[in-house]
Amino acid sequence: MRNFKVLCAAFLVTSGIHISQAGAESTVDPALIEAAYSENGKYFTADDIPTYKVQEDGTIDWPSYSGFRRYHSECHVCHGPEGEGSTYAPALKKSALTMDYYDFIDVVTNGRTRINAAENSVMPAFGDNPNVMCYLNDIYVYVKARGTDAVPRGRPRKKEAKTDAIREEENACLGTN
Amino acid sequence: MRRLLIAASAFALTAGLAHADANLQSMMDDANQWVIQTGDYKNQRYSKLDQINKDNVKNLQVAWTFSTGVLRGHEGSPLVVGDVMYVHTPFPNIVYALDLNNDGKIIWKYEPKQDPNVIPVMCCDTVNRGVAYADGKILLHQADTKVVALDAKTGAEVWSVTNGDPGIGETNTATVMPVGDKVIVGISGGEFGVRGSVTAYNIKDGSQAWRAYSMGPDSDILVDPEKTTHLGKPVGVDSGTNTWEGDQWKIGGGTTWGWYSYDAEENLIYYGTGNPSTWNPAQRPGDNRWSMTVMARDADTGMARWFYQMTPHDEWDYDGINEMILTEQEIDGKTRKLLTHFDRNGFGYTLDRVSGELITAEKYDPTVNWATHVEMDKNSDQYGRPQVVAQYSTEHNGEDVNSTGICPAALGSKDQQPAAYSPTTGLFYVPTNHVCMDYEPFRVSYTAGQPYVGATLSMYPAPNSHGGMGNFIAWDNIKGEIVWSIPEQFSVWSGALATAGDIVFYGTLEGYLKAVNMATGEELYKFKTPSGIIGNVMTYAHGGKQYVAVLSGVGGWAGIGLAAGLTNPNDGLGAVGGYAALSDYTALGGQLTVFSLPN
């Protein structure tokens, strides 16, 4: 098993360009996505990373639903519908699985620039945009759920109710009543 | 001293009036050349060249190609001025001058240095709709809103001026229109709360002649409250602020990123303004004038002659920026000066372009459902207003409610991709979208330089139709009727070209250049270029031979919305992914393909 892990890592290093394709086909580490506990309608992994929760009847957690809405308001115009990517910007449903949570947060907050002969990509810094920052974890869990296909394309059909705690947090963040 | 005075007053006379530069007008009249993006001031996109015609177009072949070196959405088209072709690119907005006498050898290349931070504030790709020629200069309006005049012979910068501030979301995607001694310039950024404006700069030195905002005090929007009219009546005082709550007009949108046309006799320029910001209608009560408006302004002063607001209080992002096509046509035995406009909202409007009188307003896609009709009774208090269906009103249904099955989608029944007109058939040839949407508005807060959208959209092919996302149609603008319609798998996002050879050209998102019979719509030729076409087809002649040219390079809103395919959330989970994905047909590119008949 140890040998296999080493091999795997070597593969990732030498063929970086294929990571996303390989990543989409291989199974995702359950520790990255499995909800270990919930708090006021929000779900977290054992490592305290926000994650989604889909019940057997298809009901999804409120933050994932909220992420669906915010994604299609703030991210969609560059990254395409439902995290699928576009001719303009990468598929976030893949990024959410291949990027570390804290790196993901960092790129959204501070932006990232890739300008070279082959690329003209600039991710803006959303750090001072409350419409993004107040919903950053929601967007993250939504695109992660898209990455594993736990939430299919299209509008989520059933969702958990919005909890008072979430509502209060939202108002405090947006600075509105 | 006396002689000097006379000389000075003569100079003032010629310099002060913007009426058409006779030289530029004669270059537009010369079918061998293509000197501004729209072909001519009327935006007809019609060429008198007839060497390539409906009988021989089947023999068309590729004459030569050119790679632009940029992999992004390529809108607009090349220009041909004499023996030189000018090709532009998306960001970083390179301009090439190519020698048509020497197999397209590069005479000069201009590559501006722009701050890459402009890229993410350009909603929906870094497209640019091309350069214009006037007075020995190539006029370029860059993504970062720098307007630059290049010496057409050398590519040297003659002057430049900054039109806006990307820091607050002001960017540019549009071409410019030279008129007389001025160049007319618009602005983008409706999704960032930008207040739209049109500015005229003097071609000689880049100094500002006038600026007219889309909303704001009368002195900002350049109206005469008594003389400027809306559907025949004076607009009155404060028309640009009194349909807004408080100071909302300051971030009101109504940007001006479409096409411009010009009537030299009336000395009027015509254009449309975009959506009001935000997409959440509940946050901006009122008609939001003058967003979503057809505007006629004096080219010299910017003073408005008339306005027509097509979609008061937009609830669907139906930008009014599409081109205004000018024609002279007979109605009831009388020749009238008309303006025809295919709006994003799905209505094809025909107006008297001198008075602004509304003549026809009919749906040019039968699926359009958000309004039953436009009220045509002059005595009605609803005159000129679309009659909105409550079921599809995102304002009526309210914030945080998902309104479903609205046709057309926010892309419009047609976006900026310009239609063509043939004076021989009297018909318009229109590239269209056949896409519907669900729309859920919600509250957003404004931060300068950040997106200010406030709605979640899902888009999908028009239900209960042919399953495709586009049509290419022939339209009768007097009767308000579709004459023929070609179903297309994807939205038609390419500008059309009609010619005296009785054919119409257009490009498709899969990358095909197609030629069809002008009278019947019968397909006569197609060729698959290396990438999807969102550019406009143009034609020119060189050395006695006619050529047809088009840019390939998928992108723009089409590349973002359709790359992964669309899904209809109302079809149930089983149908998800059932529609075609553009990424199965084409990939990024940046290429010019030039066609001709075999020797």
DSSP codes joined into one string, B92-118: TT-EEEEEGGGTTEEEEEE-----GGG
Looking at beta carbons, which residues of chain A come within 8 Å of B564? 80-82, 84-86, 91
Cβ distance of A111 and B559 shorter than 8 Å: no
pLDDT band at residue B334 under the 50/70/90 scheme? very high
**Distances B44 to B252, B434, B545 between C-alpha atoms, Å:** 31, 23, 22
Kindly tell me the burial class for residue A145, based on how many C-beta atoms sit within 10 Å of its own C-beta (0-12, 13-18, 19 or more): buried
The range of the structural domain enclosing residue B422 comes to 57-596
Q: What chain B residue is nearest to A115 in terms of C-alpha separation?
A: B116
Residue A129 near chain B (CB below 8 Å):
yes
The whole-angstrom distance between A1's CA and the closest CA on chain B is 37
Q: How far apart are CA B38 and CA B82, in angstroms?
A: 17
Q: Could you tell me if residue B52 is inside a domain?
A: no
Which segment of A74-78, A173-177, B515-519 scores lowest on mean pLDDT? A173-177
Q: What are phi and psi of B124, to 5 degrees?
A: 70, 55
ipTM of the complex model: 0.74
What are the residue boundaries of the structural domains of chain A, listed by start? 29-174
Contacting residues of A for B119, CB less than 8 Å apart: 120-122
The 10s digit of each residue's pLDDT in A101-145 is 999 999 999 999 887 777 778 898 999 899 899 999 999 999 999
Number of structural domains in chain B: 1
Per-window interface: A 97-126 vs B, CB < 8 A: 111, 113, 115, 118, 120-124, 126
Residue B356 lies in a domain: yes
Q: How far is A154 from chain B (nearest CA, A)?
A: 5
Q: Is the Cβ–Cβ distance between B254 and B289 less than 8 Å?
A: no
In-domain check, residue B41? no
Mean pLDDT of A85-94: 89
**Closest residue to B116, CB basis, from A69, A115, A131:** A115
A 38-67: CB under 8 A from B: none
Q: Which secondary-structure segment (H or E) carries B561?
A: helix B556-562
In B, which residues are within 8 Å of A81 by CB distance? 458-459, 561, 564, 566-567
The alpha-carbon gap from B468 to the nearest alpha carbon of chain A, in Å, equals 18
B550 lies in some domain: yes
Which residues of B are identified as catalytic? 317
CA distance B554 to chain A (A): 7
Amino acid at A29: D
CA distance A4 to chain B (A): 34
Q: Is the pLDDT of residue A1 over 70?
A: no
Has residue B31 got a pLDDT over 90? yes
Residues facing residue B188 across a β-bridge: B171
The answer to whether the Cβ–Cβ distance between B458 and A72 falls below 8 Å is yes
Phi/psi for B311 (5° steps) reads -125, 85
A29-174 to CATH, choices 3.20.20.10, 1.10.760.10, 3.40.250.10, 3.30.2320.20 = 1.10.760.10
CATH of the domain at B142: 2.140.10.10
How distant is the Cα of B449 from the closest Cα of chain A, in angstroms? 9
- Which of B115, B400, B458 to mutate to probe the A interface, most A CBs <10 Å? B458
Cα dihedral A166, A169, A175, A177 in deg (nearest 10): 50
Contacts of B70 in chain A (CB under 8 A): 120
Which letter does DSSP use for residue A165 in this model? H
- DSSP class of residue B319 equals -
Q: Which residues partner with B506 through β-bridges?
A: B514
Mean pLDDT, rounded, for B263-284: 96
Whether residue B99 is contained in a domain is answered as yes
Please name the member of A89, A120, A154 whose beta carbon is closest to the beta carbon of B458: A154
Q: What is the CA radius of gyration of chain A?
A: 17
Chain A residues near residue B116 by CB distance under 8 angstroms: 113, 115, 120, 122
pLDDT at A12: 34
Tell if the CB–CB gap between B569 and A120 is shorter than 8 Å: no
Res B558: pLDDT: 81
Torsion, Cα of B312, B314, B317, B323 (10° steps): 0
Q: pLDDT digit string (tens) for B54-83?
A: 999 999 999 999 999 998 899 999 999 999
pLDDT band at residue A26 under the 50/70/90 scheme? low
Interface of B with A in 214-233 (CB under 8 A): none
The string of pLDDT tens digits covering residues B166-218 is 999 999 999 999 999 999 999 999 889 999 999 999 999 999 999 999 999 99
Alpha-carbon torsion angle B358, B360, B364, B367, nearest 10: 90
Domain assignment present for B7:
no
Would the CB atoms of A120 and B456 count as touching at under 8 Å? no
In whole angstroms, what is the distance from residue B252 CA to residue B275 CA?
Answer: 8
Give the integer Cα–Cα distance in Å for B108 and B230. Answer: 47
Decide if A81 and B458 are in contact by the 8 Å CB cutoff: yes
Distance CA B202, CA B51 (A): 38
Does residue B47 lie in a domain region?
no
Asked whether residue B17 carries a pLDDT value surpassing 50, the answer given is no
B205-254 pLDDT, tens digit each:
999 999 999 999 999 999 999 999 999 999 999 999 999 999 999 999 99
Q: Mutating which of B450, B469, B509, B552 best tests the A interface, going by the most A Cβ atoms within 10 A?
A: B450
Query: Residue B7: is its pLDDT beyond 60?
Result: no
pTM of this prediction?
Answer: 0.90
